[in-house]
């Protein structure tokens, strides 16, 4: 995702929907840049802060929504987003990302994209399970980015299937993970298997 981007030690980067902070930590270690990670889930924020403390990585982790980013206009050279936009109001989120980027700043996003629209019954099954409001094609993402004001939009399609690039991790029962969550993971895998010709992803890059 980052190949060809001019990232250096003076770069300011926002990782929206940072989860446990794995990507944010990588960015800090790889580039020595000024990294901020943000997530709406307090548990993820806590885990990300613990990760940074354990590895002594100077990454700021904050609680916040991609639809209402609690940061100033023009604060970042780069905004990075991985599998976040499909779960939120896309227009609001893109407006906020555009706002916090400086002029000439870069938005890099890895997002669910369908290769073709499934029939209505299959589309409803996918949307209902994941909580999606839509199943965007490449053109849909391009239009959304253009409407938000972005330019120089490039779309990269990986040749691998979503199953090849999204391996299911091993899970073990514990006192802190409810058993019914394992059923959710199983359903997730079965949907990816069933719709592997339809469900995919794209890496999109663009400029403010």
Q: How is 136-184 classified by DSSP, letter by letter? A: --HHHHHHHHHHHT-EEEEEE--SS-HHHHSPPPP---BTTB-HHHHHH
pLDDT at 171: 45
Model pTM above 0.85: yes
Q: Mean pLDDT for the chain?
A: 90
pLDDT at 28: 94
d(CA 69, CA 75): 11
Task: Beginning with the edge strand found earlier in the chain, give each strand of the sheet holding 151-156 in spatial order.
Answer: 60-63, 34-39, 12-16, 76-82, 101-114, 199-207, 151-156
pLDDT at 164: 55
Helix 138-148 to helix 90-100 angle, to the nearest 10 degrees?
Answer: 50
d(CA 202, CA 61): 26
pLDDT at 162: 59
pLDDT at 27: 94
- CATH topology for 65-117+132-159+199-207 is Rossmann fold (3.40.50)
Q: Which regions of the chain are under pLDDT 50?
A: 168-174
Question: Is 153 within 8 Å of 204 (Cβ atoms)?
Answer: yes
């Amino acid at each position: 995702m980052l190949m060809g981007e001019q990232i250096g030690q003076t770069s300011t980067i926002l990782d929206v929907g940072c989860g446990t902070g794995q990507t944010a930590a990588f960015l800090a270690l790889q580039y020595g840049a000024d990294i901020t990670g943000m997530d709406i889930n307090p548990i993820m924020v806590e885990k990300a802060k613990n990760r940074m403390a354990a590895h002594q990585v100077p990454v700021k982790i904050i609680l916040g929504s991609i639809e209402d980013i609690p940061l100033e206009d023009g604060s970042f050279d780069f905004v990075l987003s991985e599998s976040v936009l499909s779960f939120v109001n896309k227009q609001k989120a893109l407006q906020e990302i555009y706002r916090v980027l400086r002029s000439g700043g870069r938005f890099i996003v890895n997002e669910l994209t369908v290769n073709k629209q499934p029939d209505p019954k299959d589309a409803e099954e996918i949307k209902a399970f994941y909580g999606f409001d839509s199943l965007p094609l490449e053109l849909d993402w391009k239009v959304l980015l253009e409407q938000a004001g972005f330019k120089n939009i490039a779309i990269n399609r990986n040749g691998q299937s979503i199953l090849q690039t999204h391996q299911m991790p091993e899970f073990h029962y514990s006192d802190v993970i409810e058993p019914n969550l394992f059923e959710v993971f199983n359903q997730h895998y079965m949907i990816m298997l069933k719709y592997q010709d339809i469900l995919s992803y794209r890496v999109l890059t663009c400029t403010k």
